[in-house]
Amino acid sequence: MDRLYLIRVDMERFLGPLTLKEVKEAYLRMEFGMQDEIAGSLRPWVTFDDLEAIKRHYPEMVQLVQREMLSGWGVSAHSASLPHTRSKKLQAQEAPQLVSRTLLLTILTALIVLAILLLKDGQGQELLLYFKDRTFFTAKSLYAETYNARFESFMDRNREAINQAMRKKKGYQQWLPLVRAVAFERDGRWDGLSAKRLRGKADEDFPVDCSMAAWEQRWAASREAWERFLDGRELPSAEWTQILTVDPHWIRLRSPAAGWIKPGSYPEACLRMALKALQRNNSGQAPEVQKVIEARLGWQLGMIASTDRNDNFEMSGTLWALSCLEDTREREQLNNCLGSATLRPDWRAWLDAVLVQRRLVIASQDARDLVGDELAQFERDLSNWEAFRKTLRFDYDAETAFYREILLQKGQVGSALQTMQQRYPQLHWTY
């Protein structure tokens, strides 16, 4: 760790603790001068114009004094060490060493007390981080609770240092959430980090590369299939259909994930990049269909963020039916979502699976207990779900475990929910 120094200005106030680099920067900002003193690492107070004492006690400061401070005053290194240049500071230099040591001890004691108080308040890690890794501490502080221009600018200026730190396992884990925030606020890339490492090991059901450039290629290559997809004639097994059919409730349960801040997970990041790429590249082909696809992506992101769902999303066809199912909270209204769509077998099987899953969600919402006919119907729906879930492309193991737990606890949804919160603490149960 870098050595730290204190600077006493006009015998009245102090600067620091500062690193050597920060001492140089403070001098360039004219925060202290030749007649002021420096101390550090239990070494004595020395004035900057006493070059001999600087050489003896602070050899690392010699270059600063000779090249920056003395050159600015028009004084040579030789003349700076002569007695007549020090006449104004003789009294200060001859002051009892006990005063200086007592003052330094007081400062150190104050720092120790501050550290103890912070540890009691749970902020000790922040203090340790400040001294151990100033760059990361600054980045984290600038981000605070949300993305902002100052944070982004700082990340850009320190990109090389960040990439170097990420070559080590600890640095990689530490910086990755902040790097992801910058990458997916922009174009889904970070120079120095591959798309695979940016994604991480989780969410392997999603594309390896979810950058805007990758999505531009996917959208361009799939345009001719959009209408057949939307009117229910075709459900291709492709990355663009995968992102459009993913259940936003499924993502919300898993977001924010470990290693992510904003967006809260890789699937959410994929949705954001897919929408940005589509909005930026409008070739004029099938404009109405594109509006429907954009509306679907916006709908999914809104559901994940739990924002107001009453926005006027202009959807139609299969995507309207799918969104309708995801939004309905009354069992009796679910079948109404399928009335306007003429579906081929692939789409019918997909929406039937979603329909059964939504029945289970509606029955278990609000953590109310199931009794009598409701519990019997829930058991029948779960039996159907065990067969239908294979149709969907995503891992519903946690949700399925929750439904089974409800039956094990004889319809006590609240107790089942508590069990799942303990079993899957990384998930965000909001039923």
- Are 211 and 306 found together in one domain? yes
Same-domain status, 195 and 221: no
Q: Band the pLDDT of 230: cuts 50, 70, 90.
A: very high
> Residue type for 112, please?
I
pLDDT at 15: 82
**pLDDT of 83-98, one tens digit each?**
444 444 444 444 445 5
Whether the predicted pLDDT of 123 surpasses 90: no
Which residues constitute the domain of residue 158? Answer: 134-200
Based on the structure, what is the number of domains in the chain? 4
Q: Is residue 267 part of a domain?
A: yes
Task: Give a yes or no: residue 185 inside a domain.
Answer: yes
Q: What is the pLDDT of residue 76?
A: 39
pLDDT: which is higher, 120 or 8: 8
How far from the centroid of its chain's Cα atoms is residue 390's Cα?
32
CA–CA gap between residue 407 and residue 414 (Å, rounded): 12
Contact between 51 and 75 under an 8 Å Cβ cutoff? The reply is no
On the 0-12 / 13-18 / 19+ scale of CB atoms within 10 A, 113 is: exposed
More confidently predicted of 346 and 431: 346
State whether 268 and 308 are in the same domain.
Answer: yes
Same-domain pairing of 217 and 190: no
Q: What is the pLDDT of residue 68?
A: 73
The more confident residue out of 228 and 307 is 228
Res 74 pLDDT > 50 = no
Q: How far is CA 216 from CA 265, 280, 304, 327, in A?
A: 21, 9, 23, 29
Q: Summarize pLDDT for 97-118 with one digit per residue, the tens.
A: 555 666 677 666 665 655 554 4
Report pLDDT for 88.
42
Question: What pLDDT was estimated at residue 215?
Answer: 96
Same domain, 217 and 289: yes
Work out the pLDDT band at 402, boundaries 50, 70, 90.
very high
Q: ω into residue 83 within 30 of 0, thus cis?
A: no
Whether residues 209 and 284 fall in one domain: yes
pLDDT, position 56: 87
In a shared domain, residues 191 and 222 = no
Flag the least confident range among 42-51, 325-334, 399-408: 42-51
In a domain, 106, yes or no: no
In the prediction, which pLDDT does 118 show? Answer: 46
pLDDT value for 199: 92
Do 220 and 274 lie in a common domain? yes
What is the per-residue pLDDT for 97?
A: 53
Tens-place pLDDT, residues 342-355: 788 899 999 999 99
Provide the pLDDT for residue 318.
92
Instruction: Note whether 152 and 220 are same-domain residues.
Output: no
Q: What predicted TM-score, i.e. pTM, was given to this entire model?
A: 0.69
The model's confidence at residue 81, banded by pLDDT at 50, 70 and 90, is very low
Contact between 124 and 115 (Cβ < 8 Å): yes
Residue at 330 is within a domain: no
Q: Specify whether 306 is located in the same domain as 258.
A: yes
* 210 belongs to a structural domain: yes
Which tens digit of pLDDT belongs to each residue from 419-429? 999 999 999 88
- Per-position DSSP letters for 17-75, written without gaps between them: EE-HHHHHHHHHTTSS-TTSEEE-TTPPPEETT-HHHHHHH-GGGHHIIIIIIHHHHT-
Reported as a pLDDT band with limits 50, 70 and 90, residue 357 is: very high
Is residue 9 over pLDDT 90?
Answer: no
Domain annotation covers residue 214: yes
80 belongs to a structural domain? yes
377 pLDDT above the threshold of 80: yes
Mean pLDDT (the chain, rounded): 83
pLDDT tens, position by position, 291-337? 999 999 999 999 998 765 555 667 888 999 999 999 998 998 998 88
Q: Which pLDDT score is estimated for 42? A: 73
Binned at pLDDT 50, 70 and 90, residue 130 comes out as very low
Sheet holding 46-47, edge to edge: 13-18, 5-9, 37-39, 46-47
Extract the runs of DSSP E, i.e. beta strands, from 274-395. Answer: none
What proportion of the chain, given as a percentage, has pLDDT over 90? 46
Taking residues 185-205, what's their average pLDDT?
88
Percent of the chain's residues with pLDDT above 70: 81
Token pair recorded at residue 86:
């020090």
Question: What is the token pair recorded at 319?
Answer: 């995507």
Point out the domain boundary residue: 304, 320, 336: 320
Tell whether 127 is covered by a domain: no
Name, of 6-10, 80-84, 396-400, the range with top average pLDDT.
Answer: 396-400
- Asked which of 200, 221, 236 is the last residue of a domain, the reply is 200
* pLDDT for residue 431 is more than 90: no
